[in-house]
Amino acid sequence: MLEAGDYFKRMQEVGVVPNLYTYNTLMDGYAKMASVEKVLQLYRKMLDHDVLPNVVTYCILINLFCRMGEIVAVRSYFVHMVKLCVIPNVYIYNCVMDGFSNVGDVSAALDMFSEMEKFSISPDVFTYGILIKGYCSIGRMEDAENLFRKMNNTGVIVNLVVYNTLIDGLCKEGSVERALELCSQMMEKDVQPNIVTFCTLINGYCKVGKMEAAMGLFNEMAIKGYKPDVVAYTALIDGHFKNGNLSAALQLHKEMIKAGITPNAYTVSCLIDGLCKNGRINEAVQFFLENRAGFTGDEVELLTGSFSGYRSPLHVMYSALINGLCKDGRIFKASKFFSDMRSSGLYPDVSNYAIIIQGHFDVKHMFDVMMLQADILKMGILPNMFMYKVLNRGYEELGNFASALKCREDLWNSGLEYSSFRFTESFELCKQ
């Protein structure tokens, strides 16, 4: 792009006026590099030189800002495009809808879909895929399936990505049999499952505790020539642990290593958690110490399990170990790793604080509880419902009803939903 930029300057120096095609080509190149400033400079320059943007120009701009999650900018350029009488095409509508869906604003994406239909712009497979993914992400599976049926009725050919999206959504809500039925329908239409399909179904069966069915799919996957990946192995390891089958979980871990598949942070966390729950604390600690050097404190997106979301892999591993140690009553060792976590440059979150505070309540370490509460305030961490429940229960069990009542007052002032929050005796005993 540096060379292309130099040629663009030379063109202007020798009096050659760049045309729309030149501007679009350069903007597209800079957009692929996520160089927002360069893209906007070119856009402003073309307007200053009375070169009117076309639908390609706005495709570049809208796609760039959608990828960056800048929805306000997306709206702005869409409106500007319409004002300049540039008619949006299906690609632009898809980009905008995808941008809205990715930030959880499915209703705005649906408004765009309605607008498309109003202007007789036919939705394609990507349009439906974006909206189905949006519905699945907020748990509106009935709406997702209705849209899937509409897609079939309008003659749009469903691709593997759409099938996998819907199968994943069904598995996440526990409708694994329906997901398997959809997989069968998919194959009847000559759309063959891939490794993503198998891993999704395996994870779904593991979550509902149907390990025999999960292992059946795992074996079928291998028969069909698909090499199980870290997602499939991790789901099965976690599933076996949750079903109390320690030996099967550990055996799968051995097979995974033998197959040359490197465990990720979630795999390690599942193993730590499973070992702790089975009373093999020393092995869990040793496993953590052996594996932590392979992970960083940088945030990545973890897509499966209890640790999902944007988290540092090392943070996830520390959280699993601290949780296991606290539940086993080893508060001193848990506190050591809590301190170690902080000295490693990681910031404990509200769940970490709640777990360690609960551990100190269990052994009546009130000074440590108060110090941790002060630390939460110092770090600017906002308590969640779990934290309030831990504090309330801890103070009540120790007979400190005034502090328990203070928790209730803090909860009221926090704006959190507290209808299901039960304070047993605090209020009455404080009045006496």
Phi/psi at 417 (5° precision): -70, 120
Q: Each residue of 156-176: pLDDT tens digit? A: 999 999 999 999 999 999 999
What does the pLDDT read at residue 425? 42
pLDDT reading at 421 higher than 70: no
Length of the chain: 432
pLDDT reading at 294 higher than 80: no
Confidence class for position 305, pLDDT limits 50, 70, 90: very low
Q: What are the E-state strand segments in 252-383? A: 300-302, 309-311
Least confidently predicted of 291-300, 344-353, 362-371: 291-300
pLDDT reading at 213 higher than 60: yes
Least confidently predicted of 175-179, 276-280, 406-410: 406-410
What does the pLDDT read at residue 410? 81
Confidence class for position 312, pLDDT limits 50, 70, 90: confident
300 pairs with which residues across the strands?
311
d(C-alpha 191, C-alpha 37), whole Å: 43
What does the pLDDT read at residue 7? 53
Q: How does DSSP classify residue 410?
A: H
pLDDT reading at 125 higher than 80: yes
Phi/psi at 270 (5° precision): -60, -40
pLDDT reading at 424 higher than 50: no
Residues 6+ apart with CB under 8 A from 295: 265, 268, 313, 314, 317
pLDDT: which is higher, 415 or 207: 207
Cβ pair 75, 103 in contact under 8 A: no
pLDDT: which is higher, 39 or 15: 39
Q: Each residue of 44-69: pLDDT tens digit? A: 988 888 888 999 999 999 989 988 88
d(C-alpha 149, C-alpha 157), whole Å: 11
> Residue 212: CA atoms inside 13 Å, Cβ hemisphere, count?
0
Q: Residue written as tokens 């209705």?
A: 146
What does the pLDDT read at residue 430? 41
pLDDT reading at 75 higher than 60: yes
Tokens representing 298 are: 């940088």
Exposure string of 367-395, with b = 16+ CB inside 10 Å and e = fewer, is: ebbeebbeebeeeebebebebbbbbbbbb
Q: Each residue of 240-290: pLDDT tens digit? A: 998 989 999 999 999 999 999 988 888 998 999 999 988 899 999 999 998
Helix (H) or strand (E) holding 10: helix 2-13
Dihedral sign (CA 389, 394, 397, 399): negative
> DSSP string of 100-135?
HHHTT-HHHHHHHHHHHHHTT----HHHHHHHHHHH
